[in-house]
Structure 1
Amino acid sequence: MSLDTVVEDIRDDARARAENIREEGQARADEIVAEAEADAEELLEERERAVERQIAQEREQALSSAKLQAKQQRLEARRDVLEDVYEQVEAELVALDGAERETLTRELLDAASTEFEDENEVFVYGRADDETLLTKILADYDGYEFAGDRDCLGGVVVEGRNSRVRVNNTFDSVLDSVWEDNLKDVSARLFEQ
């Protein structure tokens, strides 16, 4: 064997080992790239799921917020309508006149007078515009006198000289009581669903 042959064998052997190392390196590089691509794909899918969850959560929050806002607006509108109805009833009570106003005022005074059966002097207060009507009605009651004005829609406030009792039988107090007792029914009739 000649030196050239030995050198050529060594070179062939080195080339084969270099090719083998290169192939192993390429296989390892391909493996690393495949692992990195799989990891990147998994990370991408995880991030997409997280974004979808966040979008769904934000959508649900926005929907919930919109529903709450709509409910509040509906309640405000109902409250406004109820206030309008209440104010309309007040206006109609103020506008009552003649026999109807007298009848209602007498009934309220009669109901209050049961508290003052033992009193010699009873003071009656009422709406300034009703002074003439009250004076006329009080002529039928012994010991009762008109004592002054009250800011009210009508009716009477009655108190005895010696008692600490005061009876508020104004249209306002009756309306407030009736309104409170029937608000649910009024609301149901106005806002039937």
Structure 2
Amino acid sequence: MSLDTVVEDIREEARARAEEIREEADAEAEEIIAEAEADAERIRDQKLAEAEREIEREREQTLSSAKLEAKQERLSARRDVLEDVREDVETAIDELDGDRRHDLTETLLAATLAEFDDDQEVVVATREADIDLLEELVDGRDATVGEPVDCLGGVVGESDTSRVRVNNTFDSVLEDVWDDELKNLSERLFDQ
């Protein structure tokens, strides 16, 4: 065997070993690339899922906020309608006249005076526009008409001896009825 042959055999062996190392490196590189691609796919899927969850969370939050805002606007609109109804009722009460005002005031005066003992000096009052009516109604009763009060009508009675004040104004009656019937009124107006 000549030296050239030995050198050639070593070269051949080196080439074969280099080829084997290259193939192993290529296989390892392909495995690393495959793992990296799998990791990248997994990370991409994970990030996509996170983004979808975030989008869904934000959508739910936006939807919830919109529903709350709509509910608040409905409640505000209902409150406005109820205030308008209340104002209309107060206007109708304020504009009562003739026999209807007379009868209602007389009923409230009787209820007011019934709250006091017979020996008490009772001062009754009403709104400025109803003073003459009240003076007519107290004629012959143990009561005197006092200074007008700010109300829609009706009667306020007071006695110094018992320190009792009875408020039978249209305002107080309306307030009681309003509080008692507000739920029913809302249901009728808004078909709940």
TM over 0.5: yes
Q: How many residues of Structure 1 are paired with residues of Structure 2 in the alignment?
A: 192
Q: Which residue of 1 aligns with 2:134?
A: 134
TM-score (norm 1): 0.96
Q: Which residue of 2 aligns with 1:56?
A: 56
Give the distance between the partners of 1:30 and 1:188, measured in 2 at CA. Answer: 73
Task: Give the drift of 1:117.
Answer: 3.1
The AA in structure 1 aligned to 2:94 is V
SS of the residue corresponding to residue 185 of structure 2 reads: helix
TM-score (norm 2): 0.97
The 5-angstrom pairing of residues 14-163 of structure 1 reads: 14-141=14-141, 143-163=142-162
Deviations 1:16-43 (A, max 9, x none): 1111111111111111111111100100
Query: Does residue 186 of the first structure (1) align with residue 180 of the second (2)?
Result: no
Task: Give the drift of 1:120.
Answer: 4.3
* Alignment gaps of 5+ in structure 2: none
Q: Which residue of 2 aligns with 1:173?
A: 172
The AA in structure 2 aligned to 1:157 is V
- 1:90–1:153 CA contact under 8 A, matched in 2: yes
Give the distance between the partners of 2:117 and 2:14, measured in 1 at CA. Answer: 132
SS of the residue corresponding to residue 158 of structure 2 reads: strand
